[in-house]
Structure 1
C-alpha cells in the first residue's frame, strides 16, 4: 500500500508520518527530495531556492519530476514493508506516477487541512530554513503550491483530516484513521 499524505505547508502532514511510523511504516518526503536536489545543485535552502529547484526539476523531468526521483526510494522500501508513506505529493501527475510505477499497490490519499493562520503560526515556530519569514512569503508559497496542482490532489483525497484543534485531538484523529485503514492493528509494534 502506498499512502500519499498531502496538505498545504504547515497543515500537519508530519504528525501523520510520525504516528504511522510508530507502527513501522516508513516514509519518503517529497520535500526532502527537493532539498537534497537543491544541495546537489548548490542552491540555498531558501523559499526562493526551493521554488527555483522545484520549477527546474519539472522543466527537466516533467510535471511528475519529484515523484520520478522518489520512486526508487519507495521501491526499495516496499521490498521490506507492506506500506510506505509518501509525504508532500503536489500534483495529480505525481499520484499517477506512483500508480503507474506500482500497479500492484493500492494508492490512497490522505489530505490534511488547516486554516492559513494556523499554518502560518506553525511554520513560524518550525524554523526550517525554507519556511516563510513573513505573511507575504507565506502567501507566495501557498500560491506556488496551488499552481503545482496541490489543490487538485486535496480535492480527490480518499480521507480528509481537519487539523484546527489541539495537538492531542489531532493525534486522536490520526490514530482513528490508522485503525480504519487497518494499520494500527496490523502494524502495532509495542
Structure 2
C-alpha cells in the first residue's frame, strides 16, 4: 500500500489535492474524521475550536501518534494507493511509514494568501482577525506541521488559480500512480 500523506497550513489548498484524488478514483481518508467523531462524543457538537481542543487533548492523553493510528484503522485494505489528508507531525509520518510506503505532498501558500482565503471562505471557526489567524498557525506549528512540510517529496505552491494548483495536483498524483505501477512488476520485498 502506498500512502500519500497530505499536509499544509490552513487555507493552503489541501482540498484541491483531495478533489483531484477523488476524481482520479483514489480513496481519501481524513485524519480530521477521527477528531470530528471524538469531538462529537466529548462535547455533543462540532466546532473548529472544539476540534482543535480535542486534537490537542487526544495527543496529550494517548500520545502524538494516536490520531494516525486511528486513521490507519480506517484505511481501505484493498486499495493500492490511499491519500491521507491532514498529517501534522513527524511522529504521524513515522506511524504511517509502518503501515505502508509513504509519499508526502505538501501544499504551500504564503500567510497573506492563506489569510485572505480563510476570510473569503468564512467557514465557522475560520479566523476573523490576523490575531486569530496567527494563533491558529502557532497551534498548527506546535504539532510539528512545519517539519512535515519541509520533508515533503512534492510541494505544490498554491499562489495562483485553482486550475493551476489542480493541474499540479493531478500531475503529482499521476506520477505516484505511475511509479506504483512501475514498481509492481512482481518483485518480492526481499529482492
Q: TM-score range by the shorter chain?
A: 0.7 to 0.9
Tell me, yes or no, if the aligned pair for 1:46 and 1:131 is still in contact at 8 Å: no
Q: CA deviation at 1:127?
A: 3.4
Q: Tell me how far apart the structure 1 counterparts of residues 65 and 51 of structure 2 sit (CA, whole Å).
A: 16
Tell me, yes or no, if the aligned pair for 2:29 and 2:82 is still in contact at 8 Å: yes
Equivalent residue, structure 1, for 2:11: 10
Q: Which structure 2 segments of 5+ residues have no match?
A: 182-191
Q: For each residue in 1:64-97, what CA deviation from the matched residue of structure 2 results, as whole angstroms up to 9, or x when unmatched?
A: 12112211101xx1x2311111111000001111
Equivalent residue, structure 2, for 1:59: 60
Equivalent residue, structure 1, for 2:78: 80
Q: Tell me how far apart the structure 1 counterparts of residues 24 and 113 of structure 2 sit (CA, whole Å).
A: 28
Provide the aligned C-alpha RMSD in A.
1.9
Verify: 1:70 aligned to 2:65, yes or no: no
Q: Tell me how far apart the structure 2 counterparts of residues 18 and 130 of structure 1 sit (CA, whole Å).
A: 22
Q: Tell me how far apart the structure 2 counterparts of residues 2 and 185 of structure 1 sit (CA, whole Å).
A: 11
Q: Tell me how far apart the structure 2 counterparts of residues 141 and 183 of structure 1 sit (CA, whole Å).
A: 37
State the TM-score, normalizing by the size of structure 2: 0.87
Equivalent residue, structure 2, for 1:164: 159
Q: Which structure 1 segments of 5+ residues have no match?
A: none
Report SS of the residue matched to 1:182: helix
Q: Tell me how far apart the structure 1 counterparts of residues 121 and 179 of structure 2 sit (CA, whole Å).
A: 28
Tell me, yes or no, if the aligned pair for 1:2 and 1:85 is still in contact at 8 Å: yes
Structure label with greater radius of gyration? 2
Identify the match of residue 173 of structure 1 among 140, 157, 168: 168
Report SS of the residue matched to 2:128: coil
State the TM-score, normalizing by the size of structure 1: 0.87
Would you say how many aligned residue pairs link Structure 1 and Structure 2? 180
